[in-house]
Amino acid sequence: MNVHTPEVQRRILTNLALDSAMFVVFLTTTAPRFTGIAIHEWLGIALGAVVVTHLVIHWSWITGVAQRLFSRTTGCARLGYALNALLFAVLTTIIFTGLMISETALAPLGIRTERDRFWTQLHHLASDAAVFLLGVHVALHWRWIVNATQRLLTRLSSQKAAALSAAPVLGKEAQ
């Protein structure tokens, strides 16, 4: 079992929380009939901000793999890099086309858009591609997801046990 420093554990848990939030927001955003168009649009814009945050957090990995991409790196790292680049391109397309066909989110800014068939079809095509690519992305990172979740649950249970052992037992404090 890997023993990580508290700083590494904190980064792993931060990554897990951010990735989980991004996944839930993405899935929620893919259902505009469920959320309504206004929430769909605002969640899409928020997702763009979260993706940028995700990229900033992982920038050292991105640049490190990019530098080694055609020399000394594993096939898995190359596949992950290509998949992430495709996912980024597709998410950028979704957000851009979503803004181009926006019905409610841009209106408060005085920006009016027309519903254009080209942008609508591209938005739907990119959204379908993103669902597929995200599924592959999750599958490739499944081991990390499971391990990080186990670390989180272990940490939470040990904190709970420590809190329970430090708490006074009713009736004992009078003795």
DSSP track, 15-58: HHHHHHHHHHHHHHHT-HHHH-HHHHHHHHHHHHHHHHHHHHHT
Q: Please state the pTM of the whole predicted model.
A: 0.70
Burial of 118 (0-12, 13-18, 19+ CB in 10 A): exposed
CA dist 148 and 4 (Å) reads 11
The Cα angle at residue 160 between residues 158 and 161, in degrees rounded to 5: 65
The string of pLDDT tens digits covering residues 131-150 is 999 999 889 888 888 887 88
Contact 45, 63 (CB under 8 A): no
The predicted pLDDT at position 1 comes to: 47
Contact 102, 39 (CB under 8 A): no
For residues 94-117, average pLDDT: 83
